[in-house]
Amino acid sequence: MDSRRRFLGAAAAGGLLGSSHALFGRTSRYSDIEGRIARRDFRDLCKEDLPTPCMVVDLEIFERNLRTMAEHCRTKGIELRGHVKVHKSPDIARRQMSLGGVGVTCATVAECELMAGAGIKGVLLTRQPASRNNIARTVALAKKEPTFGTVVDDPLVAGWLQEAAAAEGVKLRTVVDIYAGLTRHGIEPGAPAVELAKKVDAAKNLRLLGLMGYSGAASHTKGWEQRKKKSADDIAGLLETVGMARQAGLPVEIVTGGSTGTYNIDSEGKGLTELQAGSFVFMDTMYRRIGGRDDPAVYGDFGAALTVMTTVISKRHPRQCTIDAGNKALLRPTDEVKGRPEVRVQNQGAEYGILEWSDADKDFQLGGRVELYPTNLDMSTNVYDRYYVARGEQIVDVWPIMGRAGAAQR
Ligand SMILES: Cc1ncc(COP(=O)(O)O)c(C=O)c1O
């Protein structure tokens, strides 16, 4: 096709506003959004009013996800210490606690400080603190909030933590992190793990709380049967170590692990006492594609509650349009357009994305909104500073996303 024919005429492009600009009558509705959020005045504030790209939470689906997990835990007699790295929101953590959560798990000391500062009890740091900075802040946190604890996977770090905790006169809750198939952390199961647990138990300023094994490689294993097998294989060493530690007379109050992908696998039997699942609150396309027990194509135990809302900003070519989200918004080809799963997504630089489709009868409107399900929650939520919470089209709340990566937040 020659380059001129690839362009559409202005009339064919159509548009949200058409030829009349009547919609520009009440501009204050669009320009005073920050003031209204500060006053928590959400009356008549709709998704249409929001600047884009932005993150929108479908409250109904989100609440259903929380209830589904809480109900699962109640039925199976297992606790939930949900991972916050996917959402970084004290508002969400509080909602999980009110549904029976025993605490939250965090990936960074900054997240722990944020959650404990927001009044959340039972915060567990799931990445061993190894720098002087992180060790000092871990101990300071335990001094302020005695229900806070950390994991450790190395006797050397256990020694450093003991020394720092002793200097502050603190007793630090400590969980031994055991390798469970992910070669990024965790001490070897069996004798080495038991030795470390004994060292922690014997340390005057550490209190052995239990054992952790995060089978992160099982969480996204495609296919129900394959995932079941992978998870069982990956946590076998952890479960064997639990038995050995108890036999050695060590106190193992908690055995923590699991994920959104394995929540209903790891809660069978008498293995884990608690789950660390996080992504189920919103879900992302990476998770939806792992397949579920009943549907090999879509993992539908939890609904897709989070979208990145964008605007169609240009439409000069057939069967494609440009949206205002690109690399900075972490747009990816594996994102999915809400209501139009057949549409292909491409990023086109820092601030632009392209949507392409084949069916000439289906179109997007210039100035119209398009919502995308993100590929990976952790990365996407990290580049936004708030969730707009919607019931249908109406905005009913705004939750800040806090403790994000960046010099000031570390
Ligand atoms: C240590 C740990 N536990 C639990 C989770 C939660 O997993 P998910 O978000 O897949 O439910 C993660 C996520 O990466 C993690 O790193």
Among 31-45, 215-229, 238-252, the minimum mean pLDDT is found in 31-45
Which of 83, 86, 283 most suits a substitution to test ligand 1, by most atoms within 8 Å of the C-beta? 83
pLDDT at residue 360 in the model: 86
Between residues 24 and 393, which one has the greater pLDDT?
A: 393
Q: How far is the CA of 103 from the centre of ligand 1 (A)?
A: 14
Average pLDDT, the chain: 92
Is the CB of 279 within 6 Å of ligand 1? yes
Q: How far is the CA of 218 from the centre of ligand 1 (A)?
A: 11
pLDDT at residue 4 in the model: 44
pLDDT at residue 407 in the model: 54
Ligand 1 atom closest to 86 (CA) = 9
Is the CB of 278 within 6 Å of ligand 1? yes
Tell me the backbone φ, ψ of residue 198, rounded to 5 degrees. -65, -40
pLDDT digits (tens, 9 = 90+) for 131-183: 999 999 999 999 999 999 999 999 999 999 999 999 999 999 999 999 999 99
Comparing C-alpha atoms, which of 369, 405, 408 is closest to residue 108? 405
Is the CB of 213 within 6 Å of ligand 1? no
Q: How confident is the model at residue 253 (pLDDT cuts 50, 70, 90)?
A: very high
Comparing C-alpha atoms, which of 51, 21, 64, 11 is closest to residue 386? 51
pLDDT digits (tens, 9 = 90+) for 328-355: 999 999 999 999 999 999 999 999 999 9
Is the CB of 276 within 6 Å of ligand 1? yes
Q: How far is the CA of 268 from the centre of ligand 1 (A)?
A: 19
Considering the entire predicted model, what is its pTM?
0.93
Give yes or no for residue 9 having a pLDDT over 90: no
8 Å CB contact between 292 and 301: yes
Give yes or no for residue 15 having a pLDDT over 60: no
Q: Could you tell me the domains of the chain?
A: 36-57+301-403 (2.40.37.20), 59-288 (3.20.20.10)
Q: How far is the CA of 261 from the centre of ligand 1 (A)?
A: 10
Is the CB of 374 within 6 Å of ligand 1? no
What's the whole-number mean pLDDT along residues 197-203? 98
Q: How far is the CA of 280 from the centre of ligand 1 (A)?
A: 10
What's the whole-number mean pLDDT along residues 35-50? 92
Is the CB of 375 within 6 Å of ligand 1? no
What's the whole-number mean pLDDT along residues 200-229? 97
pLDDT at residue 238 in the model: 97
pLDDT at residue 7 in the model: 53
Q: How far is the CA of 117 from the centre of ligand 1 (A)?
A: 22
Give yes or no for residue 19 having a pLDDT over 90: no
| CA angle at 363 for the pair 358 and 364, rounded to the nearest 5° | 125
Q: Atom 14, ligand 1: which residue's CA is nearest?
A: 216
